[in-house]
Structure 1
Amino acid sequence: MRAAAAELLDEGAPLPRFDDLTELTARLRVALRALVPQVEEVARERPEDDAERVRARSSARASVETARACLDAGPGSGLVSAKDHALSLAREVAGLCRHLEKLTGARTAEPA
């Protein structure tokens, strides 16, 4: 899913067909729904006294809220709004993967 998000975020990549975009959007939503609780759990478990971890945890929590807002939003009725929504979801998937990696110190597995 990370690769699909990166491909969608590539400014030089062509716009996917509407049906493909709809399918990718659904997959990105599934990935976000899986990543949000993972990032929340890992952020909660970080020690309070480690300044770097505290900053990372705070940033991760803000990203979780943004991801939730993206999940609450819909794609709209046209191709442009569907593309914009998919791009938002892709950015959030990529961002939550980075937060998970920073908080755990390990590369995240490909979400769903």
Structure 2
Amino acid sequence: MEKKTLVLGASTNRNRYANIAMNRLASRNIQTVAIGLRKGEVAGIQIETEKLPFEDIDTVTLYLGPPRQEEYYDYIISLHPNRVIFNPGTENPEFFRLLKENGIEVEVACTLILLSTDQY
């Protein structure tokens, strides 16, 4: 089943895990949209800078630390994803609670490992 993914904290910097994840998602033909601080493109995926009303998002994978997540709480909840992946360093118990209260699965994991082990 297609798991349309939003990469939040996207970057054109090839050394960033968000960038590596975008390349791996694209290589697996997983439909991907992205939001970052600066516009750009990675693996044919446009990085947007605004909170666009994307539809049919299955997964949000976070590459933002907890202090930067708060401004996205309502936005992410409004997208009604099935799950939010908290990559290493993004763990946020306050946000975990809000997501669970809204029926959204919380997964503390590494997107790169999930992809490489076919658990995505």
TM-score by length of 1: 0.25
Compare the two structures and name the one with the higher strand fraction.
2
Quick check: which has more Rg, 1 or 2? 1
TM-score by length of 2: 0.24
